[in-house]
Amino acid sequence: MNAATGETVSVLALLAVLAWAVIRPRGWPEAVAAGPAAVILIAAGAIRVGDAGAEARRLGPVIGFLIAILVLAHLCDDDGLFRACGAWMARSAGGRPRRLLVLVFVAAAVTTAVLSLDTTVVLLTPVVFATAARLDVRPRPYVYACTHLANSASLLLPVSNLTNLLAFTASGLGFGRFAALMALPWLAVIGVEYAVFGRFFGSDLGPRRQARSQAGARAGAGDGGLPVFTVTVLVLTLAGFVVTSAAGLSPAWAALAGAAVLAGRALARKRTTPQSLLRAADLPFGVFVLGLGIVVAAVVQNGLGTALRPLLPAGTSLPALLAIAALAAALANVCNNLPAVLVLLPLAAASGAGAVLAVLLGVNIGPNLTYTGSLATLLWRRTLRSHGEAPNLGEFTRLGLLTVPAGLVLAVLALWAGLRVMGG
């Protein structure tokens, strides 16, 4: 198969995989399309078996790492970590909506950084909503904060986002160094988000003096003590990431160990079942990422890589980093951040760790621009929702326009400064 035909077939396969993810026929998982699409491309010769194998060997450990984190987060939820977090927020916030916003920012930023954005979206957001409802304050600013920070606060650690895990291996950085370089951008973006949210939702955040809020806060004080054992395991796991990485091992082993300890304890106490753990591991998602990775590799090898290379500036000067981050953000909004990072990583890796981290700033912060960062989601929003007009789409986009460009520029500046001080 020549390159032009290969590229056409590969792009069609990618579009089919993404379209399936948007439409989700009969609610079947995305893996149902991505797996066969990869197999077809290999069979048709659009990607060589050796190249597909190399891609699978690269992605396998990353997917294993992610699965360990997902299971770890699920077990933390079982042990009441997020309930305890909700009770803590209710207690400390009392009837003060603005203080609750600060607490939600802290909870969402830390949860995203340590247990990945999936955990914030799936496990923390409902707790935050319930906390706001219990305190009798409007839940919208807090839920929006969770959805925004799930993306923008996922910069700090390799485990915070699947995009980071993919980039982590490509960057050649150690766990500690990755975190050190990303700490300043992470704080800068959270600062921008907080400043914008405080103004944007000003009228929802005025202090109130209602009896119900106080009662809600008191009611919150009763349930959900902090699960000390679980938190200890989490802290040790975090330390394990740094230690294993410094010792030249994959930090995935630390995640696996942490998940194994919590799973063993939960199984021994009959508080979970193997089936429940298997569900939390979300194996179809692993198949989806593997399939998508092979499809994207075919698209890149058959021509997209050559086409994009001139667009991606070389080096890690400030203008270069800004351009890389902007391109990554744009691509993440056109398709989704997962395909975007798969496409850009091989190109950016040639320019070194700084360029790889700039790609991450783009694909992680960028998605807040268009609702949840993909044309796919926009399409879904338009076609499936029966509410007719959707005022909150406009609101969400305004919020994105206020936070994303400012956050992106400040984060790139912070990264650039960090690279100057610490060296790339």
Residues that bind other proteins (CB under 8 A): 21, 29-31, 34, 117-118, 121-123, 125-126, 129-130, 133, 136, 139-140, 143-144, 146-147, 150-151, 202-204, 206-212, 279-280, 282, 284-285, 288-289, 292, 336, 338, 367, 371-374, 376-377, 380-381, 385, 387, 390-392, 395-396
Nearer to other proteins, 353 or 408 (CB): 408
Of the pair 8, 377, the CB lying nearest other proteins is at 377
Q: Is the Cβ of residue 66 or residue 353 nearer to other proteins in the bound state?
A: 66
Q: What span, in angstroms and rounded, lies between the C-alpha atoms of 7 and 309?
A: 16
Exposure b/e, 9-38, CB count within 10 A at least 16 = b: bbbebbebbbebbbeeeeeebbbbbbbebb
Phi, then psi, of 73 in degrees rounded to 5: -65, -40
In whole angstroms, the minimum distance from the beta carbon of 280 to other proteins comes to 8
Cα R_g (the chain), whole angstroms: 22
- What minimum distance in Å lies between the beta carbon of 146 and other proteins? 8
| Nearer residue to other proteins within complex by CB, 290 or 412 | 290
Give least dist CB 335 to other proteins, A: 9
Helices (H), 247-368: 252-268, 274-281, 283-299, 305-308, 318-334, 337-349, 353-365
Specify the residue, 97 or 227, whose C-beta has the smaller distance to other proteins. 97
> What is the SS3 string spanning 171-190?
HCCCHHHHHHHHHHHHHHHH
Q: Which is nearer to other proteins, 96 or 169 (CB)?
A: 96
- Cβ-contact 313, 320 below 8 angstroms: yes
By beta-carbon proximity to other proteins, the closer residue of 267 and 379 is 379
**Minimum CB separation from other proteins for residue 352, in Å?**
28
CB-nearer residue toward other proteins: 320 or 344: 344
Smallest distance, Å, CB 145 to other proteins? 10
Q: How far is the CB of 329 from other proteins (least distance, A)?
A: 14
Alpha helices (H) along 172-246: 175-200, 211-222, 228-246
Closest approach of other proteins to the CB of residue 48, in Å:
25
**Backbone φ and ψ of 2, nearest 5°:** -80, 170
Reduced to 3 DSSP states, what percent helix, strand and coil does the chain have, rounded to the nearest 5?
80, 0, 20
DSSP state of 302: I
Q: Which residues contact 76 (CB under 8 A, 6 or more apart)?
A: 82, 115, 119, 227, 230, 234, 262
Least spacing, CB of residue 385 vs other proteins, in Å:
7
Minimum Å gap between C-beta 100 and other proteins is 14
Count other Cβ atoms within 10 Å, centred on residue 202: 11
Do 182 and 140 form a contact (C-beta atoms < 8 A)? no
Residue nearer to other proteins on the CB measure, 73 or 103 = 73
